[in-house]
Structure 1
Amino acid sequence: MKRRDFTKNIIAGTGLATLPSFAKSADQVNLVTPQPAFKLKYAPHFGMFQNSAGKDEIDQLKFMHEMGFRALEDNGMMGRSPELQKKIGDTMAKLDMSMGVFVIDGGDNWKTSLATGKQEFKDVFVNTCKKAVEVAKRCNAKYMTIVPGYFERNLPIGVQTANVIDAFRRGAEIFEPHGLVMVMEPLSDNADLFLRHSDQSFLICKAVNSPSCKILFDMWHMQRNEGRMTQHMDWVWDEIAYFQIGDEPGRKEPTTGEINYKFLFKHIHEKAKATNRGEFILGMEHGNSIGGKEGEMKLIEAYRASDLA
């Protein structure tokens, strides 16, 4: 089947334009012929394949689908126009793709600190959660990333933790009626951040005690902060709702660093099956190790090599 005919069959009757042609490579992934779906639900982000698909978000979505990806994540979704948010959601629905996380962004999350207990920060968080509900409806999202911000050196850690729990309970109250889930992400970017470890996130989830407050287990951050990832996953498993990917060092695609993603993907899949957790979305929150179309083909090859056998 020709590539254009394949696309037309997928989205017949939708009124969506087909993708432009892409260059072939005899030795690498064929960017013209549709590829089989990956066994796991990996979620690229916009810009990851723009050398092959162009800058238009809808063309990029179709390209992702044709290369075998069945999900998308977009940290910046809240900054897009309502019209584009809906168009993205409608396109994914027609292609049977799932929406992964977007970030609950109140303007400058890095300067916010829910750990301080300050009402101004809590108000911004709550108001942004309310806006996020409408964004999620437009793009068919279920999961939204939250971060509590900076550590407060003038307060005991227990008080800070209680302040974060209080704020996250407020957020959960907003999302629960809509069946939405905020996923807290422990980070490794710098030592001043409050939330850095999976056990710390687990404690907060248990205290918030809501199906709308879970953990985003970013394997790049957790390799840098903790290591022993399968052990830490297992300890906090029932509170994990979402995973993200990035090899270390470099935060690029699997096979470019020290993390054995083939082993981790198998572990996640088998444990999810054993615990009746269904299918996780695995967000590709990393860069490309090589630029241009060549790098995009190499990235797809890396996921083929790391996918389930």
Structure 2
Amino acid sequence: MSPSRRSVLAASALGLGMATVARAGRPTSNAARFSLKFAPHDGSFVSRGDVIEQIAFAADQGFTAWEDNEAVSRPPAQIDAMAKALRQRGMTMGVLVASMPKWSQFRPLLGADDGAEREAMLADLGPAIEVAKRLDAKWLTVVTGFMDPKVPIDLQTARIIELMRRAGDVAAQHNVVLVMEPLNTITNHPNIFMRTIPQGYMIAKGANSPGVKVLADLYHAQIQAGNLIPTLQSCWDEIGYIQFGDNPGRLEPGTGEINYKTIVGWLRKRGYAGVIGMEHGNSLDGRAGEDRLIAAYREIDAA
């Protein structure tokens, strides 16, 4: 999501199956469909071509979801082409970004005494929601800015709860959900405001809106606090979306310390049927990296 984050999300592609037949007007594949809605993104299979060709390739490998942090900045014609490709393949659209900090400026300060940046964040929602509608998307990512060193944390928290209540009212009117993403301060995002899933849980509870939930990015959660499954268990009723990425390196499952097989098993027991964003890069360049990416998800899907 930040420039460094986006640079790590570049990869490539060969795959396991090729499209063969069409049933009910929808292309299918020799590759078995994943049982969970793992969602690659633009860059996961970059050797296959542009984002439309990557969607087609992902579907041919059995993926049933997609996510795109950059959707709001794309040309309208490309957004419509993506929507068409996803519908034809029966794929669920995952998150797109509604509100993201200006990383180089360490803004916004959403808990500041001056409310201008809170109003600007609310103004960002309209265009993002319109793009979400065109893509049949339900979830929009929100990052709640940076800490203001001049304002007590309790005041900042109260102001952000009120902001998210207002934002949730807007989202609920359009049947979408804003998922607030806690980020780690240790490796990637110093001085970010929302740092842990429980902190997001507190703000979601305070906002008390069906339009506000928490995005549990397990890469960030592992760095900042660990204890992933108990944390998910405690905060489950306010978690609206999940993203995977191993640590260290923010690469595919199996490259680091997180036991994603166990996490997948736990999610199955919970009956989780939502999207799981593949918010990470590939450990190898080129098509070898894309092969490894697919194999990593086959392994945890079979757990």
Q: SS where residue 114 of structure 1 aligns?
A: coil
Pick the aligned partner of 2:86 from 77, 92, 99.
Answer: 92
Once the two structures are TM-superposed, the CA of residue 90 in structure 1 deviates from its matched residue by 2.0
| In 1, Cα distance between equivalents of 2:302 and 2:125 | 36
CA displacement 1:201-251 (0-9 Å, x = unmatched): 111001100111000000000000111100000110000010001000100
Query: Which protein has the larger Cα radius of gyration, Structure 1 or Structure 2?
Result: 1
| In 1, Cα distance between equivalents of 2:156 and 2:43 | 37
Matches within 5 A, 1:104-143: 104-105=98-99, 108=102, 110-143=106-139
Once the two structures are TM-superposed, the CA of residue 4 in structure 1 deviates from its matched residue by 4.8
Partner of 1:262: 261
Once the two structures are TM-superposed, the CA of residue 85 in structure 1 deviates from its matched residue by 1.2
Pick the aligned partner of 2:155 from 155, 159, 183.
Answer: 159
Partner of 1:23: none
CA displacement 1:179-215 (0-9 Å, x = unmatched): 1000000001233011001111111001100111000
| In 1, Cα distance between equivalents of 2:59 and 2:113 | 43
Check the 8 A contact 1:143/1:181 in 2, yes or no. Answer: yes
Q: SS where residue 132 of structure 1 aligns?
A: helix
Pick the aligned partner of 1:65 from 54, 59, 65.
Answer: 59
Q: SS where residue 5 of structure 1 aligns?
A: strand
| In 2, Cα distance between equivalents of 1:34 and 1:296 | 18
Pick the aligned partner of 1:291 from 271, 274, 285.
Answer: 285
| In 2, Cα distance between equivalents of 1:106 and 1:191 | 15
Amino acid at match of 1:131: P
Check the 8 A contact 1:116/1:155 in 2, yes or no. Answer: yes
Partner of 2:8: none
Pick the aligned partner of 2:77 from 66, 80, 83.
Answer: 83
More strand by share: 2
RMSD over equivalenced CA pairs, Å = 1.9
Partner of 1:221: 220
CA displacement 1:13-68 (0-9 Å, x = unmatched): x8xxx9xxxxxxxxxxxxxx7311111110000111011x11x2111101000111
| In 2, Cα distance between equivalents of 1:150 and 1:107 | 8
Once the two structures are TM-superposed, the CA of residue 149 in structure 1 deviates from its matched residue by 0.8
Structure 1: which 5+ runs fail to align? 19-32
Once the two structures are TM-superposed, the CA of residue 113 in structure 1 deviates from its matched residue by 1.7
Structure 2: which 5+ runs fail to align? 1-16
Q: Which has the higher contact order (CA 8 A, sep 6+)?
A: 2
| In 2, Cα distance between equivalents of 1:140 and 1:185 | 21
Partner of 1:246: 245
Check the 8 A contact 1:78/1:105 in 2, yes or no. Answer: no
> If the length of structure 2 is used for normalisation, what is the TM-score?
0.88
Amino acid at match of 1:230: I
Q: SS where residue 63 of structure 2 aligns?
A: coil
Structure 1's consecutive aligned runs of 4 or more residues displaced over 4 angstroms after TM superposition are none
Amino acid at match of 2:245: G
Q: Percentage identity across aligned positions?
A: 37
Check the 8 A contact 2:100/2:143 in 1, yes or no. Answer: no
Partner of 2:20: 5
Amino acid at match of 1:5: T
Pick the aligned partner of 2:164 from 139, 164, 168.
Answer: 168
| In 1, Cα distance between equivalents of 2:57 and 2:67 | 15
> If the length of structure 1 is used for normalisation, what is the TM-score?
0.87
| In 2, Cα distance between equivalents of 1:174 and 1:287 | 33
